[in-house]
């Protein structure tokens, strides 16, 4: 995905002359001033808005038969808008669709999707999408109120030039991932959940040596993970940072003094990699962690085999294995439970947290004939009615009101993949510009998942470990694009080699750091610091 995004950013940079030559509007005042409509239909008739929204290569505003999804039918009725979907619901690649629209000068009124922020903002700075600041002030009271009440979100969606071009999706809560361990194995071997690094290490080696699955074979894998880059995050246990956001390519966190640094070049990171190399050599870490197919590990090592001991993963999708019928038929006492982070240096923290502004959302094209109507539609999703629809769907169909709160119907809960079901059948939970609420997720998260969420939220263990979403200037984007891919590729290769023992970390660390700097690690830190300073100033 990151490589595709970088290609898209390159396309942005080469598209500047195209948009300039075509005279695309570049300010809110010029775009808004060109319309004679008020955003509610000058003659009382609905204002027509064409919307190109496509995410996850499958989700649009219409169902598989081309019918407008119920949430957008409701949005149209509430705002006197006729919503027309222009995205191809059967196309296979969302970003390719977006680029095709760029070639056509973004003819629709509103554009949106998942993980399109960098690409969209790049085009916006060339005039393809209009600034929303003035429109929000005058015509979007609900968005305006939310921005005033949440300056961190406002700063996160404010571009380097001071404009807001895109209303972005904000996910509820802070906790997304947690440490999970086999409680049934702990019980069998007589251990409590670990509260120190030493206790955790003792438990993992006991998982390896004491046959907790009881099959008489030494086949247990103490630590497993769905993604090898998530395994790298175990350096947190040695007090080191690995990533600065939910994106594995972001490796420049901020320290307690507000200074950006490259996490993969620090002494603490080296110490963590040395620890992981020892664990790998000793059989604590899955020996195939760097080669297993993503999103297959828990199914293979828990559901198909009873060999996995611990992981650091998403709450709901991990704890759902406690209810897996195949697992329980074979291992009736199977259970994973969460525990709080530990650290070898005595200062534990959780690095992963949900972003205050995901790179998903929507923006208004400079070709929009009625930007007032467009911003009013966006604003509806910040009303109580609109927010509820975006999160839960349609009252009386996907949810009912119980004690003043939306409650999913049993039919929805029985689908298993509630978010996918809502997207495909109602148009709720799409990655457009709205604020999600955790109660949506809580209803289909089991007891162990909720316990993990509440444990981590109550612990407040993210202090000084979080970098907000940042916005680069076009010049900074050029630096980012030049540096990020070759640097991260090199780092992935070398760190993997250090962990697996193919290269000696003591002999090779100095050359590794030197090559990272030659590839632009310091330049990356410099532009990230500038972006972070702007973020602070924008609050």
> What percent of the chain has a predicted confidence (pLDDT) above 90?
77
CA distances to 132, 197, 468, 521, 538 from 473, in Å? 18, 42, 16, 18, 15
This prediction's pTM: 0.85
Given pLDDT bands bounded at 50, 70 and 90, which one contains residue 44?
Answer: confident
Q: What is the pLDDT of residues 276-328, one digit of tens each?
A: 999 999 999 999 999 999 889 999 999 999 999 999 999 988 999 999 998 99
Q: What is the pLDDT of residues 359-368, one digit of tens each?
A: 999 999 999 9
Residue 176 near residue 314 (C-beta atoms within 8 A): yes
The pLDDT score that the predictor gives to residue 90 is 83
Q: Which helix (H) or strand (E) holds 498?
A: helix 474-500
Please state which of the ranges 10-14, 103-107, 261-265, 447-451 shows the lowest mean pLDDT: 10-14
The pLDDT score that the predictor gives to residue 89 is 85
Q: Is residue 21 packed enough to be buried (19+ CB in 10 Å), middle (13-18) or exposed (0-12)?
A: exposed
Residue 121 near residue 471 (C-beta atoms within 8 A): yes
Q: What is the pLDDT of residues 392-448, one digit of tens each?
A: 999 999 999 999 999 999 999 998 789 999 999 999 999 999 999 988 888 989 999
Q: How many CA within 13 A on the CB side of residue 451?
A: 13
The pLDDT score that the predictor gives to residue 277 is 98
- Residue given tokens 């005033």 in the structure block: 148
Given pLDDT bands bounded at 50, 70 and 90, which one contains residue 41?
Answer: low
Q: What is the pLDDT of residues 205-233, one digit of tens each?
A: 999 999 999 999 999 999 999 999 999 99
- Residue given tokens 């939910």 in the structure block: 246
Per-residue pLDDT at 93 exceeds 90:
no
The pLDDT score that the predictor gives to residue 11 is 45
Would you state the structure tokens that stand for residue 235, as one six-digit string?
């350096």
The pLDDT score that the predictor gives to residue 33 is 34
Q: How far apart are CA 500 and CA 522, in angstroms?
A: 27
Residue 307 near residue 215 (C-beta atoms within 8 A): no
List, in order, residues 6 or more apart from 176 with CB less than 8 Å away: 246, 314, 315, 352, 353, 354
Q: How far apart are CA 56 and CA 53, in angstroms?
A: 11
Average pLDDT, the chain: 90
Residue range 88-113: mean pLDDT, rounded: 90
Question: Which of 240, 227, 11 lies closest to 103, judged by CA?
Answer: 11
The pLDDT score that the predictor gives to residue 464 is 62
Per-residue pLDDT at 268 exceeds 60:
yes
Per-residue pLDDT at 20 exceeds 90:
no
Q: Which phi and psi (to 5°) does residue 285 adopt? A: -90, 140
Q: How far apart are CA 324 and CA 321, in angstroms?
A: 5
Given pLDDT bands bounded at 50, 70 and 90, which one contains residue 29?
Answer: very low
The pLDDT score that the predictor gives to residue 37 is 41
Would you state the structure tokens that stand for residue 388, as one six-digit string?
């509820």
Q: What is the pLDDT of residues 470-517, one digit of tens each?
A: 999 989 989 999 999 999 999 999 999 999 999 999 999 999 999 999
The pLDDT score that the predictor gives to residue 82 is 97
Q: How far apart are CA 296 and CA 320, in angstroms?
A: 14
Question: Which of 245, 242, 279 lies closest to 262, judged by CA?
Answer: 242
Per-residue pLDDT at 10 exceeds 70:
no
The pLDDT score that the predictor gives to residue 485 is 96
SS3 437: coil
The pLDDT score that the predictor gives to residue 9 is 43
Q: What is the pLDDT of residues 329-359, one digit of tens each?
A: 999 999 999 999 999 998 999 999 888 999 9
The pLDDT score that the predictor gives to residue 246 is 86
Q: ∠ CA(160), CA(166), CA(168), 5° rounding?
A: 110
Given pLDDT bands bounded at 50, 70 and 90, which one contains residue 42?
Answer: low
């Amino acid at each position: 995905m990151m490589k595709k995004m970088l290609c898209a950013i390159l396309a942005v940079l080469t598209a500047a002359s195209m948009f300039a030559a075509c005279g695309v509007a570049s300010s809110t005042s010029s775009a808004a001033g060109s319309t004679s409509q008020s955003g509610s239909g000058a003659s009382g008739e609905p204002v027509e808005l064409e919307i190109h929204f496509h995410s996850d290569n499958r989700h649009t505003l219409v169902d598989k038969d081309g019918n407008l999804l119920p949430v957008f039918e409701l949005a149209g009725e509430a705002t006197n808008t006729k919503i027309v979907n222009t995205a191809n619901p059967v196309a296979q690649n969302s970003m390719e669709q977006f680029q095709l629209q760029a070639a056509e000068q973004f003819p629709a009124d509103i554009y949106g999707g998942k993980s399109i922020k960098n690409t969209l903002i790049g085009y916006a700075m060339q005039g393809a999408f209009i600034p929303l600041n003035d429109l929000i002030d005058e015509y979007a009271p609900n968005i305006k109120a939310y921005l005033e009440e949440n300056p961190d979100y406002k700063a996160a969606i404010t571009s380097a030039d001071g404009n807001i071009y895109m209303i972005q999706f904000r996910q509820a809560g802070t906790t997304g991932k947690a440490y999970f361990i086999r409680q049934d194995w702990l019980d069998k071997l007589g251990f409590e959940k670990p509260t120190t690094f030493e206790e955790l290490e003792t438990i993992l080696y006991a998982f390896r040596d004491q046959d907790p699955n009881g099959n008489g074979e030494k086949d247990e894998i103490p630590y497993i993970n769905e993604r090898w880059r998530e395994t790298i995050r175990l350096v947190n246990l040695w007090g080191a940072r690995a990533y600065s956001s939910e994106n594995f390519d972001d490796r420049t966190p901020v320290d307690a003094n507000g200074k950006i640094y490259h996490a993969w070049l620090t002494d603490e990171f080296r110490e963590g990699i040395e620890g992981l190399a020892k664990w790998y050599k000793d059989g604590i870490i899955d020996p195939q962690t760097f080669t297993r197919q993503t999103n297959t590990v828990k199914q293979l090592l828990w559901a198909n085999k009873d060999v996995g001991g611990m992981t650091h993963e998403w709450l709901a999708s991990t704890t759902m294995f406690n209810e897996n019928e195949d697992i329980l038929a074979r291992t009736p006492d199977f259970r994973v439970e969460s525990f709080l982070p530990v650290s070898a240096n005595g200062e534990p923290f959780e690095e992963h947290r949900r972003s205050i502004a995901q790179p998903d959302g929507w923006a208004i094209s400079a070709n929009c004939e009625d930007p007032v109507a467009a911003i009013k539609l966006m604003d509806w999703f910040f009303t109580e009615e609109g927010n509820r629809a975006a999160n839960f769907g349609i009252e009386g169909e996907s949810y009912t009101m119980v004690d003043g709160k939306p409650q999913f119907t049993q039919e929805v809960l029985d689908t298993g993949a509630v978010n996918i079901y809502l997207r495909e059948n109602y148009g709720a939970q799409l990655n457009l510009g709205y604020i999600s609420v955790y109660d949506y997720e809580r209803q289909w998260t089991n007891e162990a998942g909720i316990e993990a969420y509440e444990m981590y939220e109550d612990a407040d263990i993210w202090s000084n470990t979080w970098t907000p979403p940042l916005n680069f200037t076009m010049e900074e984007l050029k630096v980012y694009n030049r540096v990020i891919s070759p640097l991260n590729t090199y780092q992935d290769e070398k760190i993997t080699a250090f962990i697996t023992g193919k290269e000696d970390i003591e002999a090779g660390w100095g050359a590794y750091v030197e090559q990272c700097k030659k590839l632009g690690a310091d330049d990356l830190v410099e532009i990230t610091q500038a972006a972070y300073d702007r973020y602070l100033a924008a609050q």
